[in-house]
Structure 1
């Protein structure tokens, strides 16, 4: 415990200082002051976090700005450690060599650290094991003879609860910092697509980086003189500006440039689907406890029907076959003629019928170009034979995994991923803009990329974490629907850096918010997975307790939809937006919903009418 002492009278303190200096001088020594002087400046930028996290960088996006609790002003820093990250937030400060500095700040929480690194002498830190209320931490250091930059930081401890920090200061002699750079000129827009705009501008002398603004909000920072704004909405006008950055701060914004994105495939209608769609899988090639359901008996509420499944003749052949369930396993199964007639009837009613490839038992690995080409030809044969509207990719298990050096989701190297992207683009080109493309990855393959893409750190070097991200990104302009399986996956971390468990509204809110907001991949703030359009996203849920782990009650389903489309009834998770155009719901499966008296369908109909 710390105790305060009464201050000495100013006169007595001054006399003591003079006597000490005289005594040291007599022995040939020089007094070293360990306290700030009147000429010292506070070199920490935004130490009170009144400007959000400006000037601070937090590892793995663990930090955020909060308005309560605060020590001073109206804002503070809150950061949440994880099992693999201590939630360090830091900034680099320009200092003078051979100078003494005092670092201090106020913290709350357990195992909170405050320190400085890169001092050129001895790096320092101080900490508190437990601070239920605001506690001041202070430490001092001296810079080395060649030190001009020091990093100050605060962090928690692995797996500990969130900590809070405020009013961080670094007192000492100020350095001769450069002036902020001039505003960039020559900003131009080019390479405009339905979801992206390329930007370029002239270099600014003295700039160490640039910030790109989209519609007045900072979108990203880059080191070069070009950038590509991604995750945009088709047929929409955007305004862009750029600023130049250096150690002294940020320049004024450039003159704006406006660009309108191109019309996307099918606009935002997603393959002529209704504004809100119900998607379900129909057991067409196998039987289980749910019983067989004839396609003609599927109610009109279902807008997209995925025929489960087309499966490979071998794992790496790329040869896909669709064998309908035989009558010996599926009593009451219709004939091929009746099945094809039912497909046409559904299509005449505005429904989409797709072939779903993969499933739990259908491992598909397109390891070679030959397998890719076989995949295209065999899938085309199924689509043509049954007159289907498109393809659903339901690769699970080890169908998709990352090679050890594949760490950039925007430029994938792994053959099974590159070949799948190429195969789907070929199918899209063959069938044109009416081709419906959907995907049903598990959260393991998508949202888990927020922490582990390309790192191999999850589950003992499992290379599958986030492996769908390069596929989704490469095909986002062709993608009608992404309906991630929010089940059979265990808990997952959201953008609030908290783990959310299956079965409740919070899990679906957090997982869907990530898709609609975008997220840094593996905690890399410069490698951001861009958001999908809300009309491209449906929420995947099991239709009954028998259908899979993570069943969600109708009440919790309604809560999730209310939060995402209206921002009401959001519970513990705060979304980053409101998306009334969210496409709808997907379930495994139509058969299990029929077994459960059509409860899932009734929930959808009751909400969307």
Structure 2
């Protein structure tokens, strides 16, 4: 968020940085005791022993690198056509993974190695190319998943002669992975959850539940409750069994549809308007008293609670001084006005950060101070929750922190811990929102942290671990679709702010899920539509990237009705999209309330 109009544009890296990444890694030569552990690596027996996501794989006779068959896998929508096999391996041993591939952006990799998971890729189509990578298994690792996949928006790719050469753990008396589970059924669907059960598998010590776009869920009993689902949505599930020897093939697929109704979280209107109120400062938009905020605004974020220093974690909030803001209310009047808004069904939050309020929770002491000082503000003013508006260098990823599912950077880990503590302290009705810039979220599609490509800004995608860790607790994510450079969408095209296509492409990524650069085998899972609002500047004065009302309505039409989609084709339709956020209520008043009047008119027409 900006206190004053800003024309700053982000300087983005180009795909040339990706091309600098090495594609091939030399591996050690096989010894006489080594064996090829992959089953049906030449695909001569069709897809036997292989599992391909979204029914994306088949076998073809042409082209084939050798023999009579090869794998053909076709990316579609959010699926990048991943075909994988679980292989039993020997702990603490070196392995070489090799395959011949044809097509653009074809990946070969191994996951679950117990050390460092590896992948390599080729970005140029044409003749068959050999990909090779090596890894060492961990001291207790007995199975790994080897895989190949393509890329979003790319044509079909081909794979043949895939091998994994290294010490053979097999032989008489050696433990074996369990058989695939059977009898998988779904029941008890609610608006946000589904119950799964299956027949216990002999020799299994646990199970993994698989769902497209989500990390596998590990359980010990032959049943699980899957939560955090979207209402009125169909999901497909599979289950695999695991033991010390490895993981079984996956079970048959079962589908379940959640019921209609609101998802988990605080009570909000089906379509909500979120705005920031300049409570602690003044700028060219003028001061606006809390009592004078129109009823259009469903969530009012008080801008801002700010740190006493960048690293202290100590957050303070006070009303704008009278000398700066003539007509400012007294604290008692302000608190009374908040209570009146809440009585009318509105939510009032404290927003932390903003353009100038950098917060770096680099230590556990700073984390604990953050929790206590934010709690004091919430309690003093009787607020409904917290908005995180960290900008600048508040969130940056340390070199090597490339897995958004398991972050290690202290400022990220401590922020996650602090927010979970606050959510637990205030209970399920606590409203938690975030307002990152596109740089911190969608740019993770191309560049994630300092990552393996090197050279890019470590802030790129830095919010992704926070969003992912808190997705079950997050009420709203309203990314700032402004003050941004062009961003690549899932169509592999760059989109520029200020028009419908930009908001459609950026929002589609959040609602579809997207691969994370540096982690191409790891898809950032989709958020529920009721968790997402589109962030926009209220006027041309409020920020770079103002979008005219007609273009805003086109974006809403496309995302909620699949109409007026222009050049971008979405991967779904989301009538439950929560709404819009703007910087700010003050700037909207400066613009004669154009933004909020358009919101009210659009959703009134949609309801009628």
Provide TM-score, normalisation by structure 2.
0.67
Query: Which of 103, 106, 114 is the equivalent residue of 1:89?
Result: 106
Q: Which position in structure 2 is the counterpart of 1:147?
A: none
Q: Does 1:334 align with 2:326?
A: no
Larger radius of gyration: 1
For structure 1, which runs of at least 5 residues remain unmatched after alignment?
A: 1-40, 66-85, 93-109, 120-150, 156-161, 172-180, 245-249
Q: Does 1:318 align with 2:307?
A: no
Contact conserved, 1:443 with 1:489, CA < 8 A, in 2? yes
Q: Which position in structure 2 is the counterpart of 1:254?
A: 252
SS at match of 1:409: coil
Contact conserved, 1:236 with 1:260, CA < 8 A, in 2? yes
Q: Which has the higher contact order (CA 8 A, sep 6+)?
A: 2
Tell me: CA distance 1:198–1:558, structure 2 relative to 1, closer, same or farther (3 Å): same
Q: Does 1:442 align with 2:437?
A: yes
Q: Tell me the matched-pair count.
A: 471
Tell me: CA distance 1:540–1:153, structure 2 relative to 1, closer, same or farther (3 Å): closer
Tell me: CA distance 1:311–1:202, structure 2 relative to 1, closer, same or farther (3 Å): same
Q: Which moved more, 1:421-430 or 1:550-559?
A: 421-430
Q: Which position in structure 2 is the counterpart of 1:489?
A: 484
Mapping of residues 177-216 of structure 1, within 5 Å: 184-185=181-182
Cα drift, residue 115 of structure 1: 2.2
Tell me: CA distance 1:413–1:559, structure 2 relative to 1, closer, same or farther (3 Å): same
Contact conserved, 1:189 with 1:259, CA < 8 A, in 2? no
Provide TM-score, normalisation by structure 1.
0.67
For structure 2, which runs of at least 5 residues remain unmatched after alignment?
A: 1-41, 48-53, 59-70, 82-102, 110-122, 133-146, 162-177, 242-247
1-structure distance, mates of 2:599, 2:380:
32
Q: Which position in structure 1 is the counterpart of 2:383?
A: 388
**For 1:505-529, what per-residue CA distance to the aligned partner results, in whole angstroms no more than 9, with x for missing partners?**
1111111111111112216353221
Q: Does 1:407 align with 2:382?
A: no
1-structure distance, mates of 2:603, 2:592:
19
2-structure distance, mates of 1:116, 1:313:
56
SS at match of 2:380: helix
2-structure distance, mates of 1:386, 1:373:
20
2-structure distance, mates of 1:269, 1:225:
23
Q: Which moved more, 1:411-420 or 1:110-119?
A: 110-119
1-structure distance, mates of 2:159, 2:383:
65
Query: Which of 545, 557, 560 is the equivalent residue of 1:550?
Result: 545
SS at match of 2:582: strand
Mapping of residues 215-230 of structure 1, within 5 Å: none
1-structure distance, mates of 2:265, 2:559:
19
Cα drift, residue 243 of structure 1: 8.1
Cα drift, residue 43 of structure 1: 6.6
Q: Which position in structure 1 is the counterpart of 2:91?
A: none
Q: Does 1:464 align with 2:462?
A: no
Cα drift, residue 454 of structure 1: 3.7
Tell me: CA distance 1:371–1:201, structure 2 relative to 1, closer, same or farther (3 Å): farther
Mapping of residues 33-182 of structure 1, within 5 Å: 52=56, 55-56=71-72, 87-89=104-106, 112-117=125-130
2-structure distance, mates of 1:407, 1:111:
25
Q: Does 1:240 align with 2:240?
A: no
1-structure distance, mates of 2:78, 2:531:
28
Cα drift, residue 403 of structure 1: 1.5
Contact conserved, 1:518 with 1:528, CA < 8 A, in 2? yes
Cα drift, residue 240 of structure 1: 2.7
Q: Which position in structure 2 is the counterpart of 1:247?
A: none
Contact conserved, 1:315 with 1:363, CA < 8 A, in 2? yes
Mapping of residues 416-435 of structure 1, within 5 Å: 416-435=411-430
Cα drift, residue 559 of structure 1: 0.4
SS at match of 1:608: helix
Cα drift, residue 232 of structure 1: 2.3
**For 1:405-455, what per-residue CA distance to the aligned partner results, in whole angstroms no more than 9, with x for missing partners?**
222212221111111111111111221122111110111111111222244
Contact conserved, 2:311 with 2:360, CA < 8 A, in 1? yes
